[in-house]
Amino acid sequence: MIQVTEKYFIQVDNRQYIVSAKSTVQSGKNQGEIVWIDSTYHGTITEALTNVLRRMQRDKLSDDRIIPLKEAIKELKMVQENFEKLTQNLENYGGK
């Protein structure tokens, strides 16, 4: 399993890359247990990483704030720049 961020992980099997978000059960008999939610399936590592980037961008803007479009674009670019730093060497490994 590949840990991309604290929240997002990529599981790999012989057919696909599975992007999942890590979550912790908050109540009930399984309280405290780690579960994988919102899984999506991808044919390449690049597609999986693109999905993680899009999720991170949505996470950044999915609160109840009201912000101007210019500020939203600035925040999205910041997320993308930080993500690109994490994945800058992917091209060297044939990830496309």
* pLDDT tens-place string over residues 35-44: 989 999 999 9
Helix intervals (H) in the chain: 45-61, 69-87
Separation between Cα atoms, residue 96 and residue 92, nearest integer Å: 10
The number of distinct structural domains making up the chain is: 1
* pLDDT tens-place string over residues 28-68: 999 999 998 999 999 999 899 999 999 999 999 988 889 99
Q: How confident is the model at residue 85 (pLDDT cuts 50, 70, 90)?
A: confident
For 59, the domain range is 2-93
